[in-house]
Structure 1
Amino acid sequence: MQDMRDALPGADVMPVTGLCIVADPSNCPPGHTLIDKTYDRREDADLWKDRFFGRRITRYMCMENSSPTTEKDILVDITVINEKDPVPAGYACQEYTQDTREKAMKKKQLCLRWMNISLTQDAISEIMLMSRGRRTPAGFTLVGELNNLQLCFKMGQISRPSPTETVANSLPPSYMSKPPTYTMDARLNGPPATQLPYGVTPNHSNTTSSTLQRSPPGDRHLLNPLAGIPWQLNPKLTADTSFRNDTITQISFKSYADIENQYSYKFTTEHSAAARMPPELS
């Protein structure tokens, strides 16, 4: 993690694509990094620190950093709430441990917000735990406290997959093995042709109908299903001139990503203020 913090500002980072809590450090999932030490003092980063009839109960956080893909969401925000508080909209609660399916936190809930890479350019790249009362390092955001440990994360700018990679990853293997081919009748103009069980004689006159000629089933032609159909405005509308001077207001289209980027608010100040409140007021 130290090498990641020493990276140049603005460089592309590996976002967090997985985060879980385990009861046994040896059960850290493959590809994940176990956060078992605090960043400042290198002390035990146990999130529970309790004993039950002589048996020690432990909880450790594990995170996964990997290259962003459209098939795997990335972590964009973390918040810590009290045990009985409702989970914020758009967040998922890390309620149970990954290995034993036991309660993950004591008196607190860890809530995560995941998002597809196509909807954001920023994501959480680093997560660390610090001793209580320590100053948050530059570039990190203080989330809150978990068992007298301060949880902090760092945001980073990620690089999105190219449009070609996005389309390729979204198509089933059957489409990737053999690209589709199309046949165009040289006599016709229009989109790629399709095989139909009848032949079409294009009508080059100004009449309003096309001539479709039946052909034997064994003599099917590859042609366009819309061939021979004239495209023209209804004569009733041609005679009506009342709408020609009307002005149509331009309505700008906004995708979900545009709306998310324009109105996104991370509540960083509120989270920092809430984390500094005394426990009896939280």
Structure 2
Amino acid sequence: MAGLSNFLFSLPGSLFSQQQQQQQQQNSIGTFNNDENNINDMSSMNDTSLPITGICLVSKPDNVPTGYECIRKVYGEPSRDADLMADSMLERKDRFLCITRIFPLAGNKAFVLEDIKIINERDIPPQNYTPLNETIDTRAKGTSKRTICVRLAERQAGMKCVCDIIFLYRHKRPPQFYTLIGDINGFQMCTKEGTVPPFRAIPPPPPPSNIYPNPTHHQSYAQTPKQNSKDDYSNIYTLGKKSEEKDILDGIPFTINPIYLTGNRNSANDLFGLDSYRILSPYDIEQYYPYDFHLERHSLSLL
């Protein structure tokens, strides 16, 4: 439970006064570090198919933590604020819910919002649920009469999660794919559920290629083969296969399709119309078409 509380309150200290920062450091282990979160690409913030990874309350919409978005307006009512705190006769109090879909958060907190409930203020939170009792910016009381409780779980691909939260007026019906959770300050909280997508790790860089070996200073690029024969010739610029390795094509006979062969006049080894072409061996190819990779080596030397 303490770990989940730290997760909820690991937000930027720049939003608070120095005294509140000291209090936050005493009550929380880690802070929400802007540099430690991948918030350069904010496209995930508007993708309601991704799981919510962080949730909190703020007293003012301008105090939204970095990387979070504020659910400021009522769904379908852009002129109405989704204020979750009832005003008293003496003062006005605002409460807004903020969420984020950034993964992972600071400190590699790999949690997702698995479920959310609304209970009466004096009720005991359900087991494994954490109440949002305070605002993250002023440490003031979260909400009155009703309390939002959240259940965070370690991220696992395929698990059920909450992907989006909206607020409606009581006479409104939830839109498609949204489920009514409960009432708070005259609004209906609705959530959209989904599943956690698999985590795609960044593939490691490919190993360096050995196609172009680095010659020594004494090696010439225009060497002539020493008494090369067709039997023992090997090309230094090609990749060889180890003796213990097996090719996937081993054992498959390479023959010409009979439709390309003449009828009964030619044998199976005679090509129809192609017998005039000369087939070159690797040694002949190197002799007729030499290439020393000088341009490639020169380009590498300039890097």
Task: Tell me if 1:14 matches 2:50.
Answer: yes
Pairwise CA RMSD of aligned residues?
2.5
Task: Name 1:50's counterpart in structure 2.
Answer: 87
Task: Name 2:113's counterpart in structure 1.
Answer: 75
Task: Tell me if 1:127 matches 2:127.
Answer: no
Distance 2:183 2:46 in 1: 25
Contact 2:103–2:110 at 8 Å: present in 1 too?
Answer: no
Task: Name 1:63's counterpart in structure 2.
Answer: 99
Distance 2:92 2:194 in 1: 37
Letter of the 1:71 partner, please give it.
K
Contact 1:123–1:155 at 8 Å: present in 2 too?
Answer: yes
Contact 2:45–2:69 at 8 Å: present in 1 too?
Answer: no
Task: Tell me if 1:155 matches 2:193.
Answer: yes
Task: Name 1:114's counterpart in structure 2.
Answer: 152
Contact 1:68–1:161 at 8 Å: present in 2 too?
Answer: no
Task: Tell me if 1:41 matches 2:67.
Answer: no
Find the residue that maps to 2:156 and give its secondary structure. helix
Letter of the 2:135 partner, please give it.
T
Rg bigger for which structure?
A: 2
Contact 2:167–2:189 at 8 Å: present in 1 too?
Answer: yes
Distance 1:116 1:147 in 2: 31
Q: Deviations over 1:11-51 (max 9, x none)?
A: xx321011111111111111111111001222111111303
Deviates more, 1:141-150 or 1:37-46: 37-46
Q: Is the alpha carbon distance of 1:25 and 1:136 closer, same or farther for their aligned partners in structure 2, counting shifts above 3 Å? A: same
Letter of the 2:81 partner, please give it.
D
- Name which of 52, 57, 61 aligns with 1:25: 61
Find the residue that maps to 1:105 and give its secondary structure. coil
Letter of the 1:92 partner, please give it.
T
Contact 1:117–1:160 at 8 Å: present in 2 too?
Answer: no
Distance 1:139 1:26 in 2: 30
Distance 1:15 1:68 in 2: 12
Cα drift, residue 66 of structure 1: 2.0
Letter of the 1:38 partner, please give it.
V
Cα drift, residue 83 of structure 1: 0.8
Unaligned runs of 5+ in 1: 6-12, 169-282
Distance 1:3 1:100 in 2: 27
Contact 2:157–2:199 at 8 Å: present in 1 too?
Answer: no
Q: Deviations over 1:147-192 (max 9, x none)?
A: 0001011011221325x77xx9xxxxxxxxxxxxxxxxxxxxxxxx
Distance 2:171 2:153 in 1: 31
Contact 1:34–1:60 at 8 Å: present in 2 too?
Answer: yes
Cα drift, residue 2 of structure 1: 11
Letter of the 2:131 partner, please give it.
C
Contact 1:15–1:68 at 8 Å: present in 2 too?
Answer: no
**Count of aligned residue pairs for this structure pair:** 157
Task: Name 1:214's counterpart in structure 2.
Answer: none
| Percent of aligned pairs sharing the same letter | 32
Letter of the 1:123 partner, please give it.
C
Find the residue that maps to 2:62 and give its secondary structure. helix
